[in-house]
Amino acid sequence: MKVKHKGKELDVTPLISEEKIRERLPRLAEEINAAYPHDEVLVLLIVLKGSVIFASDLSRYLKMPTEMEFIRLKSYEGMESTRKIELLMPIPPNLENKNVLIVEDIVDTGRSLAFLRQELRKIQTRSVRLCSLLNKPEAHEDPVHVDFEGFSIGKNFVIGYGLDLDGKYRNLPYIGEVRVPRF
């Protein structure tokens, strides 16, 4: 398929199929289920907006009682990562003494996550770990440890299953790579 960006039509090639995602989620959830007691609350700190589809699908395989909290960061403009990270929502107030699992769509430069972890250090949580559907290890600039990783991918820009280009295409059921033409 093709998508529009800045007046140009760009090709999207499938990278991770709907079926591959469906197979991976219960296994990823098993890793999380094995890492936490099943009788304690786990707070899913869901990073808006890209993680919403992933988090809602993943959460249904988790065995412990979960709470869902949301946070919104801003870093990306179009297909470029900006240097500045902003918190567009306050950190939820009820994370104290809780196991907190950050749920992200993708770790690219790692700046957003480094920033969020730093913000969370101001609160007395019991633990903070990170689950990300996608990870781009070659793009990391800030060191980020992904505790639970769905898929490791290359540096190319991807859309679908929650991930957007200019706010659109989050509803694609698979993950596709956006091919930027080289001149």
Catalytic residues: 108
Q: Which stretch binds ligand IMP (CB under 6 A): 14-22, 23-31, 62-70, 101-109?
A: 101-109
What CA–CA distance (Å, rounded) separates 59 from 55? Answer: 6
Nearer to ligand IMP, 36 or 169 (CB): 169
Q: Where are the beta strands (DSSP E) in 41-164?
A: 42-48, 66-77, 80-87, 99-107, 127-135, 148-152, 158-159
What CA–CA distance (Å, rounded) separates 177 from 154? Answer: 10
Cα dihedral 140→141→145→149 (10° resolution): -20
- Among 111, 135, 146, 149, indicate the residue that binds ligand IMP (CB under 6 A): 111
What CA–CA distance (Å, rounded) separates 177 from 166? Answer: 15
- Among 29, 43, 46, 50, indicate the residue that binds Mg ion (CB under 5 A): 50
Nearer to Mg ion, 50 or 160 (CB): 50
Residue 31 CB, nearest approach to ligand IMP (Å): 20
Element (H, E) at 50: none
175 sits near ligand IMP (criterion: CB under 6 A): no
149 sits near Mg ion (criterion: CB under 5 A): no
What CA–CA distance (Å, rounded) separates 132 from 148? Answer: 6
Residue 134 CB, nearest approach to Mg ion (Å): 10
- Among 61, 62, 63, 75, indicate the residue that binds ligand IMP (CB under 6 A): 75
Near Mg ion in 76-105, by CB under 5 A:
105
Lay out the site mask for ligand IMP across 32-71 (x = CB under 6 A, - = otherwise): ------------------x---------------------
Compute the C-alpha angle 28/65/132, nearest 5°.
30
